[in-house]
């Protein structure tokens, strides 16, 4: 018997309440019954995005919505600027290449945030760039980029928008789309939205919709956002193509949970868990991967004396605790601990306890309880003093 | 959002696998389909009891099986000896009184085990006593009684048997019924058997069945063990009265899990978790309630400076961690931490982490991480060194 704990930054744990809601008998998606759920869900989603525009629900992974953003905004031969500070930033370039869109890459050292000045320089050097593509939180390095400041740069430029992959940020940090002037915001179901994978969400500003309307270049049948908006608009409350209905019903439940908790409490919880996790791993002598660490997940370097790949597998296969490892040149060197979505105090405790025990089992001279103790001092603040 | 953790010694956590099995569509209990499940379940149950006799399944709580034992073995005016070292020991006396059965009470200080010599003295003083009733593990005080030694005393006496309430012991400690000469063993579903409440199990030795056959005194329609045995015997594979079918189907799954783990591993796990929990609470300066502590749950005194009732409620209502408190004169003074059934390493870590944080919130000068650290040093042994 090995109990399983999923502590990776996507997929994340799905609450029992959501699993049970999704286990109800299937309903047909072209019915008033489903449309009522859809309309309610979309309205809550727009409150979470903090936008008065449509937040569209796509039945795809987050990558699908990333591609939708690129091809609806840009035509072949157009130029975009993208921030590449990790695996997900890199993906903007790969998608653009597929569609013949020209790219200006802002390469950022893994673990660092892009400098706003570098984005500005690129915008000045490329006055015809259609957009800046950036992650709110680069999951590969657990780093937050300055999306608000980047959006302020494009706001002053005609025909140039900021596109934010918020797949590990929406529902984690307060990022008011309209107030900050974020033109396109993308999310996915399997992160802070506490669902299985299979849904993506995308919202566009008026400026971005104008650009989509003017774009005659790229085409997609499945990811045609204009068609989606026509179907998903209030009153129609349906989708262009067959939706992943059980996931949308699950999303309805998830959003109710989020609003029952309250968005301020939700953000404060994520911030506290992140702070506690950082305190915990640092108390174990493990260095943080990021110098602008995200609230969604914490990356930390595994001690060099320990075989990182074996360490990760041991935790998963022998101890039942699944973290994420590192990618590319960080493979085998780091561990990424999730604290976005359905996580609370004792998930952080489990994460640190598991790492401590595993370090001990690998013969590393760990001070048992040191990481947990440091985390607990922060976590205690989640509960009122008596 | 408060995640819930059930760390009380009954009900205990039900594994997802078992919940899902019980959620299958209802089947009728008078069918070959159910009888096949029943027969397989009963056979596994007898392996767990370690008996070649029938282990009968009753649709009642454990108290029902305690009463069944008393009234099937004894008639009004008969004398029994019972060990009262806590709330559950006390219950033997109350049931006997209801049926006009005379009692010799062996009162034991809460937290202590009965002395075998005292049982022997009582048996000598009461040569016509029909039975000694005792808990294998007294849940109120988290104490184990010397059932093997008591059974050895009655084994040499005609018409006198040992009746063991093993409700928090079967599936926790190795207690081979036939090999140890335990005449009656009783269990319940909501403890180590990892099920919701609603089922009890009872097995009788040949000697006990002879006594039941000779007993013409007490009567019960529902708890008539002779009728149950006739129905539950191999080949008939049914129950006298409508059974709690979904729980029996759940029991089938539970027993499969237990045998997949292996009984030796199962007992070793419980022993390790108990050792770790004791190390943890003692490292926090909390004294154990028992001087013969059980493998099922650990009782520890809450520091006197802390309001014990408020402490218990704070953990449950503010932190989402449900322990058991103390009963009668121990109410508000102790906390009982379960580690029987579907519990493993990180449940112990959560228990100690929660207690540490709660102590801190109550202003008690706790050394954060001290309990977790002490527990982890023991818990690490659950995993092989690399």
Burial of A220 (0-12, 13-18, 19+ CB in 10 A): middle
- Please check whether residues B252 and B303 belong to one and the same domain: no
CATH number of the domain encompassing residue B160: 3.40.640.10
ipTM confidence: 0.90
Contact B131, B73 (CB under 8 A): yes
State how far the Cα of A356 lies from the Cα of A284, in Å rounded to an integer: 8
Minimal-distance CA residue of chain A relative to B318: A383
Distance in Å, alpha carbon of A291 to nearest chain B alpha carbon: 27
Contact B269 A358 (CB under 8 A): no
Contact B74, B80 (CB under 8 A): yes
What residue spans of chain B are helical by DSSP H? 16-22, 32-49, 62-73, 87-98, 116-125, 147-155, 177-180, 206-214, 225-232, 245-261, 263-283, 308-313, 345-361, 370-379
Residues of A in contact with B383 (CB under 8 A): 314, 318-319, 357-358, 361
Residues of B in contact with A385 (CB under 8 A): 361, 363
Beta-carbon count within 10 A of B15 CB: 18
pLDDT at residue B1, rounded to an integer? 82
Minimal-distance CA residue of chain A relative to B319: A383
Minimal-distance CA residue of chain B relative to A386: B362
Contact B372 A369 (CB under 8 A): yes
Contact B380 A373 (CB under 8 A): no
Q: Among partner residues A5, A362, A367, which is closest to B346 by beta-carbon distance?
A: A5
Burial of B213 (0-12, 13-18, 19+ CB in 10 A): exposed
Residues of B in contact with A352 (CB under 8 A): none
Packing angle between helix B245-261 and helix B32-49, nearest 10 degrees? 50
- Please check whether residues A72 and A197 belong to one and the same domain: yes
Q: In the predicted model, what is the mean pLDDT of residues B307-325?
A: 97
pLDDT in tens, B38-75: 999 999 999 999 999 999 999 999 999 999 999 999 99
CATH number of the domain encompassing residue A341: 3.90.1150.10
State how far the Cα of A178 lies from the Cα of A52, in Å rounded to an integer: 8
The pLDDT of residue B222 is above 80: yes
- C-alpha dist (Å) from residue A332 to A313, A322, B328: 10, 14, 55
Residues of A in contact with B283 (CB under 8 A): none
- Please check whether residues B349 and B215 belong to one and the same domain: no
Instruction: Give the count of domains, chain A.
Output: 2
Residues of B in contact with A342 (CB under 8 A): 1, 3
What is the total residue count of chain A? 386
pLDDT at residue A218, rounded to an integer? 76
**What's the whole-number average pLDDT of chain B?**
97
State how far the Cα of A351 lies from the Cα of A316, in Å rounded to an integer: 12
State how far the Cα of A219 lies from the Cα of A42, in Å rounded to an integer: 25
> Which of B257, B308, B341, B353 should we substitute to test contact with A (largest number of A Cβ atoms within 10 Å)?
B353
- C-alpha dist (Å) from residue B182 to A371, B92, B133: 47, 17, 11
pLDDT at residue B219, rounded to an integer? 79
The pLDDT of residue B218 is above 80: no
The range of the structural domain enclosing residue B50 comes to 16-259
Distance in Å, alpha carbon of A259 to nearest chain B alpha carbon: 10
Contact B126, B106 (CB under 8 A): no
Minimal-distance CA residue of chain B relative to A377: B368
Contact B357 A363 (CB under 8 A): no
Contact B250, B21 (CB under 8 A): yes
State how far the Cα of A105 lies from the Cα of A85, in Å rounded to an integer: 10
- C-alpha dist (Å) from residue A61 to A18, A65, A130: 19, 7, 24
- Please check whether residues A135 and A197 belong to one and the same domain: yes
Contact A346 B353 (CB under 8 A): yes
Q: Which residue has the tokens 């000068």?
A: B365
Q: State the Cα angle at A176 between A175 and A178, rounded to 5°.
A: 140
What residue spans of chain A are helical by DSSP H? 16-22, 32-49, 62-73, 87-98, 116-125, 147-155, 177-180, 206-214, 225-232, 245-261, 263-283, 308-313, 345-361, 370-379
Tens of pLDDT along chain A (386 residues) come to 899 999 999 999 999 999 999 999 999 999 999 999 999 999 999 999 999 999 999 999 999 999 999 999 999 999 999 999 999 999 999 999 999 999 999 999 999 999 999 999 999 999 999 999 999 999 999 999 999 999 999 999 999 999 999 999 999 999 999 999 999 999 999 999 999 999 999 999 999 999 999 998 877 999 999 999 999 999 999 999 999 999 999 999 999 999 999 999 999 999 999 999 999 999 999 999 999 999 999 999 999 999 999 999 999 999 999 999 999 999 999 999 999 999 999 999 999 999 999 999 999 999 999 999 999 999 999 999 99
Beta-carbon count within 10 A of A161 CB: 28
State how far the Cα of A192 lies from the Cα of A167, in Å rounded to an integer: 8
Name the region of A159 (left: φ>0; alpha: ψ -120 to 50; beta: rest). left
- Please check whether residues A333 and A290 belong to one and the same domain: yes
- Please check whether residues A40 and A175 belong to one and the same domain: yes
- Please check whether residues B254 and B268 belong to one and the same domain: no
Minimal-distance CA residue of chain B relative to A259: B1
Q: Give CA B7 to chain center in angstroms.
A: 15
> What pTM did the predictor assign?
0.94
Q: Among partner residues A346, A358, A380, which is closest to B361 by beta-carbon distance?
A: A380
pLDDT in tens, B344-386: 999 999 999 999 999 999 999 999 999 999 999 999 999 999 9
Contact A383 B361 (CB under 8 A): yes
State how far the Cα of A33 lies from the Cα of B74, in Å rounded to an integer: 62
What is the total residue count of chain B? 386
* Diameter over CA atoms, chain B: 64
Question: Which uninterrupted H or E stretch holds A367?
Answer: none
Q: In the predicted model, what is the mean pLDDT of residues B281-306?
A: 98
Contact A353 B376 (CB under 8 A): yes
Distance in Å, alpha carbon of B324 to nearest chain A alpha carbon: 19
Residues of A in contact with B2 (CB under 8 A): 344
- Please check whether residues B248 and B307 belong to one and the same domain: no
3-class SS of residue A336: strand
Contact B1 A384 (CB under 8 A): no
Residues of A in contact with B349 (CB under 8 A): 349-350, 353, 372
- Please check whether residues A138 and A283 belong to one and the same domain: no
pLDDT in tens, B281-290: 999 999 999 9
Residues of A in contact with B318 (CB under 8 A): 383-384
pLDDT at residue A219, rounded to an integer? 78
3-class SS of residue A56: strand
- Percent of chain B whose predicted confidence (pLDDT) is above 90: 98
Contact A16, A191 (CB under 8 A): no
- Please check whether residues A88 and A27 belong to one and the same domain: yes
Q: Among partner residues B261, B373, B380, which is closest to A361 by beta-carbon distance?
A: B380
Contact B353 A374 (CB under 8 A): no
Residues 6 or more apart in contact with residue B306 via CB below 8 angstroms? B359, B362, B364
Contact B357 A383 (CB under 8 A): yes
3-class SS of residue B321: strand
Of B231, B259, B287, the one marking the end of a domain is B259
Packing angle between helix B345-361 and helix A345-361, nearest 10 degrees? 130
- Please check whether residues A253 and A311 belong to one and the same domain: no
- Please check whether residues A238 and A311 belong to one and the same domain: no
Of A259, A285, A305, the one marking the end of a domain is A259
Contact A208, A183 (CB under 8 A): yes
Between chain A and chain B, the number of residue pairs with CB atoms below 8 A apart is 128
Of B206, B234, B259, the one marking the end of a domain is B259
Residues 6 or more apart in contact with residue A18 via CB below 8 angstroms? A194, A195, A250, A253, A254, A257
pLDDT at residue B160, rounded to an integer? 98
Residues of B in contact with A22 (CB under 8 A): none
Name the region of A248 (left: φ>0; alpha: ψ -120 to 50; beta: rest). alpha
Residues of B in contact with A269 (CB under 8 A): 1
């Amino acid at each position: 018997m090995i109990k399983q704990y999923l502590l990776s930054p996507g997929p994340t744990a799905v609450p029992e309440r959501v699993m049970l809601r999704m286990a109800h008998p299937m309903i047909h998606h072209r019915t008033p019954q489903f449309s009522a759920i859809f309309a309610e869900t979309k309205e809550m989603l727009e409150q979470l995005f903090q936008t008065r525009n449509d937040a569209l629900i796509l039945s795809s992974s987050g990558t699908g919505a990333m591609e939708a953003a690129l091809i609806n905004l840009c035509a072949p031969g157009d130029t975009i600027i993208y921030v590449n500070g990790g695996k997900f930033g890199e993906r903007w370039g790969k998608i653009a290449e597929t569609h013949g869109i020209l790219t200006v890459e802002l390469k950022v050292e893994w673990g660092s945030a892009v400098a706003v000045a570098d984005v500005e320089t690129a915008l000045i050097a490329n006055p015809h760039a259609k957009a800046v593509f950036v992650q709110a939180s680069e999951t590969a390095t657990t780093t937050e980029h300055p999306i608000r400041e980047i959006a302020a740069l494009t706001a002053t430029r005609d025909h140039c928008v900021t596109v934010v992959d918020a797949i590990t940020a929406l529902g984690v940090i307060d990022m008011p789309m309209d107030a900050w002037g974020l033109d396109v915001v993308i999310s996915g179901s399997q992160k802070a939205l506490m669902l299985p994978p299979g849904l993506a969400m995308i919202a566009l500003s008026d400026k971005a919709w104008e650009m989509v309307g003017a774009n005659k270049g790229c085409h997609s049948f499945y990811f045609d956002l204009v068609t989606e908006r026509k179907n998903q608009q209030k009153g129609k409350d349906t989708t262009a193509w067959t939706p992943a209905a059980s996931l949308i019903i699950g999303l309805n439940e998830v959003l109710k949970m989020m609003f029952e908790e309250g968005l301020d409490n939700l953000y404060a919880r994520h911030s506290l868990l992140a702070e506690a996790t950082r305190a915990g791993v640092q108390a174990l002598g493990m260095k943080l991967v990021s110098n602008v660490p995200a609230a969604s997940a914490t990356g930390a370097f595994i001690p060099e004396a320990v075989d990182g790949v074996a360490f990760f597998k041991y935790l998963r296969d022998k101890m039942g605790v699944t973290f994420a490892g590192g990618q590319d040149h960080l493979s085998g060197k780091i561990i990424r601990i999730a604290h976005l979505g359905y996580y609370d105090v004792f998930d952080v405790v489990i994460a640190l306890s598991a790492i401590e025990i595993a370090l001990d089992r690998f013969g590393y001279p760990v001070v048992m309880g040191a990481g947990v103790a440091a985390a607990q001092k922060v976590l205690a603040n989640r509960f009122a003093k008596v």
